[in-house]
A and B are shown apart, each in its own frame.
Chain A
Amino acid sequence: MKTRDLAYIALFAAIIAVLGTLPAVNIGPVPITAQTLGVMLAGSVLGARRGFLSVLLFLVLVAIGLPLLASGSGGLAVFAGATAGYLYSWPIAAFVIGWLTERFWSRYNVAWGVLFNVLGGMVVIYLIGVPVLAAVANLSLGAAVVSGALPFLIGDAIKAFLAAAIAAQVRRSYPVIERPRQALATR
C-alpha cells in the first residue's frame, strides 16, 4: 500500500472523527450522529479496501482512548456497550459500499450511490447493530428493532443521499478510485 493510500485512510478516519463534533440527537439508546455520513463517504470515495481500513483506523483511535465518538465518549468502554454492534458494523458497511461503488464506478451517479449507501450504510449496519443491541441489553429482537433501527430510517436516508451527492461530485473533480484499466497502466 502506498503512502498516498495511507494518507487517504488517515484523512477519512479524521473526517469521521470531526463529524462527531456535530451535535448528536439522543433518542433511545443509540444516538443519531453525523458519523455514519463519514462511513458512507469513506466507502464511496475511497473504495472497498481503503474505506474499510479508514473506518477500522477510526475505531482503533477510539479504542486507544480518544474521545472521538459523537457523545464525546471513547476508550474501550464503548466496545462493550449496547451500541458496540453498530461500531463493529461500520468498517463492514464501508467495505460493502466501496465494493459496490467500485463495481459500478464507470456509471456511478447519485441514484446508484444512494442505493449502495442504503445497502451498505443502513442494511448492513442494522443487521449487525440490532442483534448485538438485543444481546448486550437483553432485549427481545423486536424491542431492539424499535429502539435501534426505526428512529434512524429518515436520518440515515438523508445521509445516504448526501454521501452519494458528495461522492458523485468528488468523482467528477478528484476521483480517488481508479478504473481497473487505468490502475494497471499506472502501476
Chain B
Amino acid sequence: MTLSLYVPRRSVVHRLPAGAKLLALAVLAVVLFARPSLPVVGAALAGVLAVGLLLARLPVATLARQARTVLWWLVGLFVFHALFSDVATAAVTVLRLLALVLAAAVVTSTTRVTEMVAVIERLCAPLRLVGVRPARIGLVISMALRFIPVLAERADRIRQAQAARGGSARGVRGLRTTVTPLLVQLLQMAHTVSEALDARGADDVPPAGGRRAPAAG
C-alpha cells in the first residue's frame, strides 16, 4: 500500500513552503469561481500545467492519474451542459474543475506529508486558546498513519483465512464471529498503544514539577 502521492524532485515548486502552496491553491479556487470565463479558466489551466510539468517536472502520468479519477465524470458533465445549456458553459464548467483538480494534484505531489502535518499543526495553533494542544494533533495524525498499514494487514489476513476455509463467515453470523471480535481487538490495541504512549510521557496534563529524574541506583 503506497501511502503517499508525493513525487520527489529538486524544483522551485518542491522547495516552496507548503503554506504558500496551499494559499495559492485557495486563491486560484476563489478566482476561478468568481470569474468563470473561458479566457480566465483556460489561462489558469495552462498555468497549472506549466507549473506542474515544466517547473516542478512532474511526470505527465502523475497528473494524468489524478485527472483520470474525475475524467469520465467531466465528460458526462460536458455532455449534460452541452445538451441543456450551451457549449461555452459546458467548457467553462469542465475546464474549471479540471484546473482545480490538477492544481491540487500539483500541490499534493510536490509537498511531503510531514510538511503538510507541520502546516496543520501551525494552522491549529490558535486552537490553543480553547485548550487544544497542536502537538496532540500531530500525535493523532501519526497514530492514524501507523494504524492504517496494521489494519490493512490484519484485514488481509482475515480475508486469506476465510478463503482457506471456503469463505464461510458471511452474513450476520460472520459479523458476530469475525468483524466484531476484530473491532474489539483493535479497540484493545488502541487502548494499549495509548497506555504505552502515556507511560512515555504523552499524557494530557504534564505532571506538576516536571519529569522526575530516574532514581540513582
Contacts and interface: CB of A to CB of B under 8 A. Distances in A.
Interface of A: 1-4, 6-11, 13-15, 17-18, 21, 29, 41, 45, 57-58, 60-61, 63-68, 71-82, 136-139, 143, 162, 165-166, 169-170, 173-174, 176
Contacts of B69: 71-73
Nearest to B117: A64
Contacts of A173: 180, 184
B104 A76 contact: yes
Given A67-B5, A77-B66, A174 B184 contact: yes
Main secondary structure of the interface of A (DSSP, over half): helix
A138 B93 contact: yes
Contacts of A1: 136, 204
Interface stretch (B52-60, B144-152, B208-216): B144-152
Contact of B197 (A3, A21, A66, A72): A3
B140 A6 contact: yes
Q: Number of contact residues on B: which range applies? A: 35 or more
A3 B204 contact: yes
Interface in B178-193: 179-180, 183-184, 186-191, 193
Nearest to A147: B76
Contacts of B191: 4, 7-8
Interface in B52-95: 66, 69-70, 73, 76-77, 80-81, 85, 89, 93
B184 to A, nearest CB: 4
